[in-house]
Structure 1
Amino acid sequence: MYTATGTRTIDKEQFVTEFTPLVKRIAYHMMTRLPASVQVDDLIQAGMIGLLDAINRYEGSYGRQFESYAAQRIRGSILDELREADWLPRSLRRKMRRIEAAINLLEQRNGCAPSEQELAEELNMPLDEYHEILQNARGAQLIYYEDFQQEDEEPFLDRLLVDAEGDPLNALLDENFRKLLIVAIDNLPPREKQVMGMHYEQEMNLREIGEVLGVSESRVCQLHTQAIARLRSRLRNS
């Protein structure tokens, strides 16, 4: 549709209808990395705000380019919403750090990746309780900003942003870090490595991965969280 001056106008309602499935797909994919306390409807609502923002701001041709642009705005809007909340409760984060410490101890002691049963025994807890921690901590991240600072230091990002050209993302994607991460992923137990590949490379959700592996969605969630714990343990010690 064009105006009298030849400027193209947009049917916003049509675009919202067309790209709402994109919002839902992104929201459900991001849910797999968040704690159970986060509601997918809240992510979708935040994503819709990002979609509307994309429709209002976009100035290029409307096709695949717009979809890529909209996806960025949708993810950004969801992340903005999540930054206002605590992704992982402190008590649960402490439990995950205990798991990471146990992983490191057993790897040093035995020279190989410990099994879930070995980790549960080292932590002096039933296997079911260990699995419950993994399930509840599905929002465990590979990197927390506090990993880069001591208790008496100013926040990591504040130090970086003193320089106007400092880019936190570039710091986190340091070439040496990337190499260490590649090696750590390659050394994951086969099933956990498979889960990470299907989720991050093929962008499959937990339900789809479970169907491929023949296990429940909750089991895939546990494997994903455990893989993150192994990676954090290895990277922190590197």
Structure 2
Amino acid sequence: MYTAKGHLEHNQLLVQYSPLVRRLAHQMIAKLPANVEVADLIQVGMMGLNDALGRFDANQGVQFETFATQRIRGAMLDELRGADWMSRGNRRQQREIETAVHRLEHRLGRPPLESEIAAEMGLPLGEYQELLGKVRGTQLLYLEDMSSGGGDGEDEFLDRHVGDAEANPMARLQDRRMREALVAAIENLPEREQYVMSMYYEHDMNLKEIAAVLGVTESRVCQLHSQSIARLRAKLRDW
């Protein structure tokens, strides 16, 4: 696979390591909003692989897969940073919903009704439901406003939670604990929202399929999904 000068055979290794790109893309997409397409990550990941093949020097004593993994992840992270993958307006509105849910849960001692959340935000129910549909692309876990830094923190979020977590045992431990807390929080969701989360994340059903099962519109499924995320983040915000 190497040339006489110690460089890699380019075309052969593009094919050989393309499964690595797909694997990294699927690992990353699990931590990103629904509006990020895995095909886009694979495309930029292949560009990162191509860059790695051009830059790799076997004489440096580093395994190619290790070197390539860093380049591929870097290309994907750069793409996410440059694509403004979550608008500031959506982040702000999602935080407003989450804050309202958090206040109501402490006050009522139970998950608030949709109408109660709308009232807490000073919105008519219909307007609140429209807002839920608008923020449908928001992230389930590890949003930037859960970081310790100030500002919007997109870079810190990406580096902490979409980068090479496998190289950090503490990150793996924190991720396991977060998952345990998340399972417990999902069990406390209203029944219909539990169904939505299960069908969407466990059974990989799309919005149209979920809507057919529940007998509602796709836009209603979007609303229920966004509201579920707000409830979960309200539960996990102090984790």
Q: Given the two structures, how large is their TM-score scaled by the length of structure 1?
A: 0.63
1:195 aligns with 2:196: yes
**1:190 Cα deviation (Å)?**
0.4
When the two structures are aligned, how many residues end up with a matched partner? Answer: 191
Contact residue 107 and residue 113 of structure 1 kept, 8 A:
yes
Contact residue 102 and residue 235 of structure 2 kept, 8 A:
yes
Deviation larger for 124-133 or 206-215? 124-133
Supply the AA of the counterpart residue of 1:173.
D
From the superposition, tell whether residues 82 and 205 of structure 1 become closer, same or farther in structure 2 (CA, over 3 Å).
farther
Contact residue 208 and residue 218 of structure 2 kept, 8 A:
yes
1:137 aligns with 2:139: no
1:113 aligns with 2:111: yes
Unmatched 5+ residue regions in structure 2? 1-11, 13-21, 50-72
Contact residue 188 and residue 227 of structure 1 kept, 8 A:
yes
- Structure 2 counterparts to residues 1-238 of structure 1, below 5 A: 33-35=33-35, 44=39, 47=42, 81-141=79-139, 142-151=141-150, 155=156, 165-166=167-168, 170=172, 172-175=174-177, 177-238=178-239
SS of 2:116 mapped into structure 1: helix
Aligned-partner Cα distance in 1 for 2:156–2:43: 32
From the superposition, tell whether residues 159 and 114 of structure 1 become closer, same or farther in structure 2 (CA, over 3 Å).
closer
**1:78 Cα deviation (Å)?**
7.4
Q: Residue deviations 1:26-66, cap 9 Å, x none?
A: 9xx98x9445xx7x7xx645546668999xxxxxxxxxxxx
Contact residue 189 and residue 228 of structure 2 kept, 8 A:
yes
Aligned-partner Cα distance in 1 for 2:76–2:205: 19
SS of 1:184 mapped into structure 2: helix
Q: Given the two structures, how large is their TM-score scaled by the length of structure 2?
A: 0.63
Aligned-partner Cα distance in 1 for 2:150–2:45: 36
Aligned-partner Cα distance in 2 for 1:199–1:117: 24
| RMSD (CA atoms) | 4.2
Contact residue 149 and residue 155 of structure 1 kept, 8 A:
no
Contact residue 207 and residue 222 of structure 2 kept, 8 A:
yes
From the superposition, tell whether residues 49 and 98 of structure 1 become closer, same or farther in structure 2 (CA, over 3 Å).
closer
